[in-house]
Structure 1
Amino acid sequence: MRATRLLPLAVLLAIFLFSSFIIPKFFRFSPKADQQINELYLENQSLKSRLTASLPEFRGDFKLAKVYSSYPFNDKNEIAINLGSADGIKESWLVVLGSDIVLGEVKKVFERYSLVRTIFDPEWRLAVRIGENKINALLEGGVEPSLTTIDKNKVIKEGDFIYAVAKGFPYGALIGKVQNISSSPSSIFQEASLALPYNFNNEIVEVKILTGYGL
């Protein structure tokens, strides 16, 4: 009788040990694998955006750069990267994630490092279009970047892709997706917040500096 009662406890203990120690040891993704999975996700989002807007696949040349940590601070307006003038980096070059997801542009270049202004800078402004109907909007930077000056008579919906159409940017470079849409009865425009395809909070460890691109 006692052996029968102990059997479930033994089974539970075995399950606990297996899930707590064996699975994490043999099946946990390495940081490199996590980065590769994230890269594939970003590439997938870029491709889906271009297919939706009937745009050709993006092709560009780039340099990989590591992002210096600002932990425990989280100033999203600006990041520092480990490439500078000695590596051929120039001001105003675009900084992306994945193949063409806009993060910012090179603001200031030093010999061994550079500063990048991101779309979270309150002064950031960029002409964009929304979805397959190519509806015009203005991306305004900030802690929570937003879309403004969207024609109230145009229909947009949550989940629509947002992409860059400003001169000096790769046409169709992905920004994110429409999230929350709002409008005021007294305004001729509607606005929307963004859902970005990445988590900025000290989790971006590598970016791409576009040195040339074509469609």
Structure 2
Amino acid sequence: MNVHPFIEAEKREGHSVKRACELLKVSRAAFYARRTSTPGPRAVQDAELTEQITTVHEKSRGTYGAPRIHAVLQRQGTACGRRRIARLMRAAGLAGRHRRRRHRTTIPDPHAASRPDLVLRDFRPDPTATDARWCGDITYIPTDEGWLYLATVIDIASRRVVGWATADHLRTELVADTFRAACHQRRPAGPVIFHSDRGCQVLRGASAMQSQ
């Protein structure tokens, strides 16, 4: 029995098409596809499959791509190919979210001399020894305009960030700006031990500040 004329009459009366389709167990996508033209069986199937894909995509909060949606539909008993799902997703403007590639910020300097660990792996806080031992690192933040690099200097004794700087590059100037910010903020009265990994930017930045 073709229930589409009944749904059409309900629509003309101003009633909810969604509700009518739910009561009659008819796909809204198939109804609209028939309403706008006289599609073939394949087009109707694509419309119904698109609605199933959209439902799974919404339940995943927009994270699932074609492979995962294909797996869900297979478990639900819907026989379809992954390429077909990918094609229908493109047509419907749907896309999954992909994990960003890990961005490497610690690039060891092969020519850097080995330096002793003056902190001796002791990172315990000590309120009586502020501005005596600092540590720092560089991290990265993905943005719509590309990678934003954040360099920080932390006082080991108080666990506070005493200096930071951001840039769209990983050059030595980023680290030097961070040290300048820390020195301007804290104005240490004596020598400060700085601990970091063996990233070439941090090592060169520290060397640049020692020479100033």
Normalised by the length of structure 2, the TM-score is 0.29
Q: TM-score, normalised by structure 1?
A: 0.29
Determine which structure has more spread, i.e. the larger CA radius of gyration: 2
Structure with the higher strand share, 1 or 2: 1
Q: Which structure: greater helix fraction? A: 2
Where relative contact order (Cα < 8 A, 6+ residues apart) is larger, the structure is: 1
